[in-house]
Chains A and B, each alone.
Chain A
Amino acid sequence: MTAILGGRLTGATTLHLEDEPDTRGRLVVVGNGMAGARFVEEVLERGGGEQFRITVFGDEPHGNYNRIMLSPVLAGESHEDDIVLNSHDWYADNGVDLRAGVRVERIDTAAKQVHAADGSVTGYDHLVLATGSYSFIPPMTGVRTDGGELLPGVYGFRTIDETRAMLAATGRCTRAVVMGGGLLGLEAARALQGHGLQVDLVHAMPWLMNAQLDAEAGAILRKSVESLGITVHLDVLATEVLGTDHVEGVVLKDGRRLDCDLLVVAAGVRPHSDLAVRSGLEVQRGIVVDDQLRTDDPDVYAIGECAQHRGELYGLVAPAWEHAKVLADVLTGTDPAAEYHGSRTATKLKVAGVDVAVMGVSTPERDDDEFLVISEPKRGVHLSVVIRDDKLVGATLLGDTRKVAFLTQAFDRGAPLPEERIRLLVDLSDGAAEVGVAEMPADSQVCNCNGVSKGDICGAVSGGCSNVGEVMDRTRAGKGCGSCKSLVKQIVEWAADGDLTEDPAASWYVPGIPMPKPELMRAIREHDLRSVSAVFSTLAPDGRDDAKSKMGLTSLLKMIWGHDFVPEKDGEFINDRVHANIQRDGTFSVVPQMKGGVTTPAQLRKIADVAERYEVPMVKVTGGQRIDLLGVRKEDLPAMWADLGMPSGYAYGKSFRTVKTCVGSDFCRFGLGDSTQLGIDLETRFQGIESPAKMKLAVVGCPRNCAEAYVKDVGVVAVGNGKWEVYVGGAAGATIRKGDLLATVDSPEAVITLAGRFMQYYRENANWLERTYDFVPRIGLETIKAVLLEDSEGIVADLDAGMQRSIDAYTDPWGQDAAEPATPGQFRPSLPLVALPKVPVR
């Protein structure tokens, strides 16, 4: 294949091999919920991306989100952005084809194809069903409209869309009825009540959470729930829903009527098995699978809540994730003999503000079962354990879950129980050893969501993690539903033997050198260190270099030394090494400078010629008012720059980038100032200036803000009478922040001086990669004003001089390196021969 390293494929195309057929197997997943998405992650972790072309169908239009966090979202405790597990980008980044918002309707198991609602037909070699469950709506007169839809005002509680709709309804509703006194119903009731609604809870069984709790514990829970102000109706069915256009109330079997304008039905879930039924797979209560999660069709599997294994259905996430692991082992061949043998489910929850942990049976079942109960109804505490043949077979903890760690342990692994059974439930302060974190065996699972054991946590601690955050990052413990966080913390504390730290690196400028920025800058000047390698050998522990620190150091050294900086190519990120932005397929993009967004016909012609000459696959106008030439091969860069004959627009660097402008007083009928000229002047002066993170500027000719100056790192607004406002710390990216007004000045020259002063202050004081929108609030606007406008620290002259030094040191990197590469290897291709993710050609 010469196409990649040497030649070029004919026609405008990015660099991937089209003539090499994709020989990977086709893996199709139906259902993009917690099981399906986790399964894809597990497959990718095992290198399955090279084995399989993966397609995921999800009939929700979203990426993958943490369904168990819907309760905090409904309660207003979590924001919906916080519950995203895998964004659409994640799928794209991993080469997974996500068909979000597309429902699969039929499987043709003979032809091995899935037929979806959008009319598409997708072939598979392996098909995984992860369709989960839906809310069961019991038959009640009037609950549905004639069209079969739920009566407006009636909701299930299963998806983010339902949760959003309920949240929106809380604003206009005053009375809610929640049907179902299980986990979901209780959480919904609590959340709605928190939004100020009056809530009635209707439960068909004699006590709350009857599936998990015994009667006595259920009664205590009821008291706790009622003390929150929720009215509980037990042992009674709702038979009718009232209202024609919108729900108005429910009628109970005993004839009572409860008025409401919001009805949540949380009366249990049913597996989504209709697809499997229609496709001829064996379905009982769920889709029947064997120990390898295989249905009766050898190429079709089912995991998660829709699967029925050895007669059991699971309504929790931990078993779904165990399914995902086993099936990934089997399909990728990592462990072709892997089997799933069922889960013992232990649940720890906060139900309506009350801590609950349950596992196994809740009451004794045999004559010789030991049963120990501590009940304190006044305190809302009810604890019990069931012991059979010296083994723990069940435990219920209500209102006090301090002992849950050891009990889960004993339940899962059959760990030996203390002679004095009472120690299982309470700490006796008689000096005898307590059962707790110390006694847990190393292999006991702490985080069920991510399968992290006590041993893994201790390993992370002995491997150098010295605070809870680091351990969580390293092991993923506590990053699922989060219910194990306190246990993780206890184990970390125990393993570190009290030797916990504040994360010291938090204050360092770069991770490889243990110094905050001011100290580092002092040391660099003191030892006269002019290259990245000199900094490492003098200041880093053992003189070791550190890849992740290099870019930050290069930037800092350029700022400190200007002309006298000694460059080293390996101290730079690839973008800075070749002065272009690396793209997802390993090609680069070229953005010529276009000051203030102003160009000329000659420039446009030149850009067009170059784009054609080098067969640039995409020409795009950027958000910064410039022209982006995308999909350029590294080895073509120098020749392209030479042909363009324009300076670099610095679209790739942690540096000053661009100044957006509106047309201003020259042409705009509202214009109060010449914003275009000021933009050009700013860009001319500050071009190529290094900074801790990228800096984007804008100037507008009036407060109508056509070029979005209020949300830039530095934004300038003409306000009339020759006056200009200068805003700093604005952002309109992942974070949105209106900039703070630093000052109103009365000439373009004053704008340029003040902008430069601010940028230099930021360059000298911001942490590496800290954008101005974090920097300004961190330092405080008042402090910044005092320093820059009143010279409270007497440094203004130094700031101006420092900026001027950098401006004097500016040279156009394209002009330089196009004429003579900095090193012989600078523009050698690094593109491997395999096909990289395709960037579409337009």
Chain B
Amino acid sequence: MSLTEERSTTAHVVGSVAEVPPGEGRTFVVGGEQVAVFRLRDGSLHATQAACPHAGGPLADGQTDVDVLVCPLHQYAYRWADGASTSGAAPIRVYPVREEDGALVVEV
């Protein structure tokens, strides 16, 4: 799927925000897809596909900063903004994610 392709999405409640402690990532299965949800220390939420396109690394175990997510296996990096890789790998899918009354809502 290309990054710009139009697709209709549905909002899913996947759990409570408390399930993703600040600074960590966690994998959920949402609408048939596997989604890694991250809460950064600044409180911002991000969601991406769960498996690294390079060799399937568990992205939820990756390292994060305000711009990028780095896969734990071979350190390819991906931008939160659009999923593009800053280190030459294929892009990842990113999903809108927000908090509603303590619930974690992901659009897939």
Contact = CB atoms under 8 A, between A and B. Distances in A.
A832 B21 contact: no
A384 B98 CA distance: 67
Contact of B55 (A573, A823, A829, A837): A837
Given A5-B29, A533-B41, A825-B19, A586 B24 contact: no
Interface string A820-836: 00011110111111111
Nearest to B50: A832
Contacts of B60: 830
Contacts of A310: none
Interface residues of A, number: 44
B23 A570 contact: yes
Interface string B63-104: 111111110111101000000000000100000000000000
Interface string A560-592: 000000001111011001000010111000000
Interface string B27-60: 1010000101000110000000011011111111
A544 B65 CA distance: 8
B58 A570 contact: no
Contacts of B77: 547-548
Contact of A47 (B53, B62, B69): B53
Contacts of B55: 93-95, 584, 836-837
Nearest to B53: A47
Contact of B25 (A545, A584, A830): A830
A510 B88 CA distance: 21
Contacts of A829: 27
Contacts of A585: 56
Interface in A584-603: 584-586
A203 interface: no
Contact of A584 (B34, B63, B64, B73): B73
A551 interface: yes
Nearest to A1: B29
B72 to A, nearest CB: 4
Given A574-B61, A830-B27, A830-B61, A836 B56 contact: yes
Contacts, number: 115
Interface residues of B, number: 41
B20 interface: yes
Nearest to A46: B90
Given A95-B55, A570-B41, A825 B21 contact: yes
A124 to B, nearest CB: 23
Given A568-B41, A831-B27, A836-B56, A551 B63 contact: yes
B58 A47 contact: no
A582 B57 CA distance: 10
Given A547-B70, A832-B58, A834-B34, A823 B21 contact: yes
Contacts of B34: 832-834
A419 interface: no
Nearest to A836: B56
A723 B57 CA distance: 49
B64 A570 contact: yes
A399 B18 CA distance: 71
A710 B59 CA distance: 39
Interface in A647-697: none
Interface string A24-51: 0000000000000000000001110110
A94 B73 CA distance: 12
B66 A5 contact: no
B61 A834 contact: no
Interface in B3-17: none
Nearest to A577: B61
A550 interface: yes
Nearest to B40: A570
A255 B99 CA distance: 91
A566 B74 CA distance: 28
Nearest to B72: A574
Contacts of B58: 586, 830-832
B43 to A, nearest CB: 13
Contacts of B53: 47, 49-50
Nearest to A533: B41
A570 B56 contact: no
A468 to B, nearest CB: 19
Contacts of B73: 582, 584, 586
A291 interface: no
A832 B56 contact: yes
A548 B70 contact: yes
B65 A545 contact: yes
Interface in A47-68: 47, 49-50
A248 interface: no
B63 A550 contact: yes
Contacts of B25: 830
Contacts of B65: 512, 544-547, 550
A834 B56 contact: yes
Given A93-B55, A548-B70, A834-B51, A573 B24 contact: no
A265 B59 CA distance: 53
Nearest to A551: B63
Contacts of A533: 41
B56 A586 contact: yes
A483 to B, nearest CB: 23
Interface in A625-639: 634
A89 to B, nearest CB: 11
Given A545-B65, A547-B64, A569 B24 contact: yes
B21 A824 contact: yes
Contacts of B68: 547
Nearest to B28: A5
Given A547-B69, A570-B63, A573-B72, A828 B56 contact: no
A50 to B, nearest CB: 8
A515 B41 CA distance: 24
A547 B68 CA distance: 7
Contact of B56 (A46, A574, A823, A837): A837
Contacts of A512: 65
Contacts of A582: 61, 72-73
A95 B20 CA distance: 31
Nearest to A44: B90
Contacts of A828: 26
A585 to B, nearest CB: 8
Nearest to A826: B24
Contacts of B41: 533, 545, 568, 570
A94 B60 CA distance: 20
A568 B25 CA distance: 14
Contacts of A46: 90
B66 A545 contact: yes
Contacts of A569: 21, 23-24
Given A5-B27, A93-B74, A544 B20 contact: no
Interface string A425-467: 0000000000000000000000000000000000000000000
Contacts of A584: 55, 73
A630 B29 CA distance: 26
A573 B63 contact: yes
Contacts of A546: 65
Contacts of B40: 570
B24 A825 contact: yes
Nearest to A829: B27
Interface string A402-439: 00000000000000000000000000000000000000
Interface of A: 5, 45-47, 49-50, 93-95, 512, 533, 544-548, 550-551, 568-571, 573-574, 577, 582, 584-586, 634, 823-826, 828-837
Given A832-B51, A832-B58, 4 more contacts: A545-B66, A570-B40, A586-B57, A832-B27
Closest 7 CB pairs of A and B: A570-B23, A830-B60, A832-B50, A830-B58, A547-B65, A832-B51, A574-B61
Interface of B: 18-27, 29, 34, 36, 40-41, 50-51, 53-70, 72-75, 77, 90
16 contacts: A50-B53, A544-B65, A544-B66, A545-B66, A547-B62, A547-B63, A547-B65, A547-B69, A548-B77, A823-B24, A824-B18, A824-B21, A825-B21, A831-B27, A832-B56, A833-B29
